[in-house]
Structure 1
Amino acid sequence: MKKGVLLVFAVSMLNCSSGDLQIETLDFNTASIQYCGSLTTATQVFFKLNDREALILELQSGLLQNVPSENTISSAIPSQSQLRYRAFSGTVDSGYFCDDVPPVDPVVIEEISAAEGNVLISTIQNPSDTTQFEHTISLEGVSFVNAAGERLTNLALEDFGQIITVED
């Protein structure tokens, strides 16, 4: 009898959550970078959608400039720029972020803000069209912490994407 109780206890301990985040990986590498309205250097909110998930990047004001960068420009998360992960109850599309009146469905079932990391931006001027500037946005050292204090740092989020702005 003792062995049976001990076996049940051992099996139940193996099935219990160890307190880790429910989200094991964040992979938005195949998702394209999106934004609302016309893209300019004043655009600050960018997002990537992956079925029932979204990765939302809010850049600090003035970070994008139509000037080639000699060095990579860095913005600290969360003190200067913000990065959020959201999980939804259903498939999400750009209307959720861009419509004047956001849809009621899908519902956000989880939101986690990045507690640390950096946004890195390098800008080059298009040599064949000098009015265009290509901005490569990367993420470095991103760590998400949920409300329970659990940390997720093993992420595949390094390349956020590229955008092109046009000189005014």
Structure 2
Amino acid sequence: MGKYFFLVLCSLALFACSDGDLQIETIDFDSVSLQYCTAPVTTSKNILFKINDNEALILELQSGVLNKGVVGDTIVTESTVSSQSQVTYRIFSDDVSKNYFCDDIPTVDPVVIDEVEAEDGLVIIETYADTDGANFVHNISLSGISFVTGSGERITNLNISAFGEVTTAIP
């Protein structure tokens, strides 16, 4: 009888394993550099991203949000996620490079395993003129970003105080 009990217990242990659902425990891009394919402009949407091995955090800034500078002042602009700007988190099957986002013909590998779009939060942009007055410097941070995975898992209040810095020419 003990043998059968042990066999049933082992069988249950095998079938009780995860069904392969991906669980996102943390999203950490604080120490990763900001990248983009083309230099940000003030008149259209801008795609900025951070890559951390097989993960990417993608920010699509609303059109015109970088055109809020005033020479001599520091201006803070907010863009609401998901109605104005988009933040997307992706997990890939292998390490991903800038080429994945920038090549004219998208690569087949690595494959996107999971993608989650933020449902709430703010993109905060602090804009000021650089020391020679030729460019605006835009310091971008994320606050209160809230993701909900396909399985209903909520990852909330993601804050990245220094998402990155971009410059645009003063018009």
Q: Shorter-normalised TM-score: what interval?
A: 0.7 to 0.9
Matched positions, count: 159
Match of 2:161 in 1: 158
Structure 1: which 5+ residue stretches go unaligned?
none
SS at match of 1:118: strand
1:29-44 pair list within 5 angstroms: 29-41=30-42, 42=44, 44=46
Instruction: Determine the C-alpha separation between the residues in 2 that align with 1:53 and 1:159.
Output: 18
Alignment match, 1:146: 149
Partner of 1:102: 106
Q: 2:62 — aligned with what?
A: 60
Pairing 1:58-137 to 2, within 5 Å after superposition: 58-65=60-67, 67-68=69-70, 70-127=74-131, 129-137=132-140
**Residue 89 of structure 2 contacts residue 117 of structure 2 at CA under 8 Å; is this kept in 1?**
yes
Q: Deviations over 1:116-139 (max 9, x none)?
A: 101011101013x11111101111
The one-letter amino acid of 1:134's match is V
**Post-superposition offset of 1:37:** 1.9
In the alignment, what sits opposite 1:50?
52
Structure 2 residue matching 1:97: 3-state secondary structure: helix
TM-score (norm 1): 0.83
Please give the alpha-carbon distance, in whole angstroms, between the structure 1 residues aligned to 2:160 and 2:26: 10
What is the distance in 1 between the residues matched to 2:125 and 2:133? Answer: 19
Task: For residue 166 of structure 1, report the CA deviation from its aligned partner.
Answer: 1.9
Q: Which residue of 2 aligns with 1:23?
A: 24
CA RMSD, 1 decimal? 2.6
Q: Please report how far the alpha carbon of residue 39 of structure 1 lies from its aligned counterpart in structure 2 after TM superposition.
A: 3.0
Q: Which amino acid aligns with 2:112?
A: V
User: Contact (CA 8 Å) 1:115, 1:144: kept in 2 or not?
Assistant: yes
The percentage of counterpart residues that share the same residue type is: 50
Per the TM alignment, residue 155 of structure 1 is displaced from its structure 2 partner at its CA by 3.3
Q: Return 5+ residue gaps in structure 2 as ranges.
A: none
Task: Give, as a single letter, the amino acid of the residue that structure 2 aligns with 1:93.
Answer: S
Give the ranges of 4+ consecutive aligned residues of structure 1 lying more than 4 Å apart after TM superposition: none
**8 Å contact kept, 1:34–1:46:** yes
